[in-house]
Amino acid sequence: MNAKRPLIAVLTGAGISTDSGIPDYRGPQGLWQRDPSAQELVTLQPYLTDGLVRERAWLMRRDAGALAAEPNAGHRALVELERSGLPVRVLTQNVDGLHQLSGLPARKVLELHGTAREVQCVRCRVTGTMEDALARVAAGEPDPACRECGGVLKPRTVMFGENLDPVVLQQADAIARACDVFVAVGTSLQVYPVAALPQIAVENGARLIVVNGEPTPFDEAADEVIREPISRSLPALVRRLVAEQA
C-alpha cells in the first residue's frame, strides 16, 4: 500500500507577483510607502460615499495595467508542484488571477481577497468583467455605474473595511488544519485573519516554510526561512519538495 502523500498548502501574497510588474503594498518600495493616500482608493466607506475617490480608483486601475500582467517563474513553479502529483492547495491574498493564468486548476486556488478581474454592483450584486468596466472608463465614463440598476460598481475584491467571505475563510482554515507542509510565499503575514493560517497549520503539526524578502512575525516558528528572490528560490524549493517524495 502506498504511503499517504503530504498535503502542501501554499499561501501567496503580493511578493510573488512583483516580478510580473504588480507592486506590493507594505514592502519598502510598496504602494502604501510611495503613496499613502492610495489606500483610501481601496477602502470601502470612502469608495462608496465619494464619487471623486471612485474616479481616482478607476484611473488607478486603468493605469496599473494589472490585467496585462503575465505569470512569472514563481507562479509557474507552483504549477509544476501541482503537476508532480502531490496534493496542493494554493491560498492567495492576491487578486490578480495569475495563479489561474499560469495553469493552476481554479478548483485548487482559493482567492481569499476575491478577484480584480471581475466587478460587482454593491446594490443588485450583478457581476461583470473588469475588462468591460475599464473599456467604459477609456471611452469617457469616469465612474461607470451598474448597467442593470445604476448602482456603484466595485471590483469583486475584499476592500479595507470589508469582511472576508466566511465560507472562503472556513475553507482556508480547514486546509491549514489538514496540511502537512505550509509554505508562506511573498506575504508579510501581518493582515488578519489570513495571518493566523500559518499558526493554525503549525499547531496542527505542519512543517512551516517562509519565503519572503522581509522578516515576518512567523519566522521564529518556521522550520525554514528563505530570503532569496521568489522567482529563483520558489522553483528550487518546489524541486526539493518533489524530490523528497520521489
Q: Catalytic residues, which ones?
A: 113
Query: Per-residue b/e over 13-23, b at no fewer than 16 CB within 10 Å?
Result: bbbbbbbbebb
State the Cα–Cα distance between residues 235 and 219, nearest whole angstrom: 20
Radius of gyration (C-alpha) of the chain in whole angstroms: 19
Measured distance CA(166)–CA(17) in Å, rounded: 25
Contact 11, 91 (CB under 8 A): yes
Q: What is the DSSP letter of 78?
A: H
DSSP structural state of residue 152: B
CA dist., res. 83 & res. 229, Å (int): 23
Collapsed DSSP state (helix, strand, coil) of residue 241: helix
From 81, 99, 103, select the one nearest 22 (Cα to Cα).
Answer: 99
